[in-house]
Chain A
Amino acid sequence: MIELGKYAGPVLAAWGVSLALLAGMVVQTLLADARARRALEQVERNRG
């Protein structure tokens, strides 16, 4: 494991929070996109 010294707490917290936010944003984007795609397909199918 890489040495973080006495500042391990802040560093890990900062990285944890940031990566979580980035990942959350990516996941939200993908989910919303999938939902929008499904809704559109459904409507188009209904329209025939």
Chain B
Amino acid sequence: MSIWEYANPVKFMRTSSAILPWVAAGAALCLGAGLVWGFLTPQDYKQGSTVKIMFLHVPAAMMAINIWVMMLAASLIWLIRRHHVSALAAKAAAPVGAVMTVIALLTGAIWGQPMWGTWWEWDPRLTAFLILFLFYLGYIALWSAVDNPDSAADLTGVLCLVGSVFAVLSRYAVNFWNQGLHQGASLSVKAGERVDPTYKYPLYLCMLGFFLLFVTLLLIRTRTEIRRRRTAALLAREVRG
């Protein structure tokens, strides 16, 4: 059986309803345990208790990027193989990605206040993230603006493709721009390598939890989209009589 079989909506509905409880349970478990563990970690000698923000900030930031990559893959599958579930999965993932981006931005801003003394700094990394948020917004807005669902899938697919290239391009441009004038603020805190094991393991658990949460939401939302399409199709047929 080829993997493309899962793009068949009926099969997708069946399979997803079978695995959904397990994924959801896993998400709840990992996320709950990871967050509690993270919240109970001791204070850092330098950052104090703000280090606890990391358990939300870092997984959210990672997921925000990964979800865009997943949308890119799903869009490509739709554009090349025209599997509807794939397009709907990309549509379903976008709002989750946008929320993840917002979480990363907000926690980062709140974290920045005690650490750097400012809510927002035009640091390359933060800036690139803001641009990613704009791409999410445009993508979601385009989906909701186009009436014909297949056209919407095509157009958003093309946008996702072009957007990805430009997101990467912007990342480098932004780097160039901020180094051009002065040394990129006091961001050395971000050296991921030197994270102490005390924080490392709960962080990994949180990352896993965020990932499973995303999978759960993705499955549910894709199912919602499929049901909506089916409802619309049946209604249209009814009207025609």
Contact = CB atoms under 8 A, between A and B. Distances in A.
Direct contact of A and B (CB under 8 A): yes
Interface of A: 2-8, 10-11, 13-15, 17-18, 21-22, 24-26, 29-30, 32-33, 36-37, 39-40, 43-44, 46-47
A2 B8 CA distance: 50
A10 B56 CA distance: 13
Contacts of B39: 2, 15
A36 B106 contact: no
Among B213, B221, B225, B238: residue with most chain A CB under 10 A: B221
- Chain A interface mostly: helix
Interface stretch (B47-55, B142-150, B187-195): B47-55
B224 A33 contact: yes
A7 B50 CA distance: 6
A18 B227 contact: no
B235 interface: yes
Size category of the B interface is 35 or more
B103 interface: yes
A29 B56 contact: no
Contact of B227 (A13, A15, A36): A36
Contact of A26 (B52, B217, B223, B234): B217
Nearest to A31: B224
Interface string B78-100: 00000000000000000110010
B48 A18 contact: no
B125 interface: no
Contact of B49 (A8, A17, A26, A30): A8
Given A2-B39, A6-B48, A18-B106, A47 B234 contact: yes
Given A10-B50, A33-B220, A33-B224, A17 B107 contact: yes
A14 B224 contact: no
B202 to A, nearest CB: 14
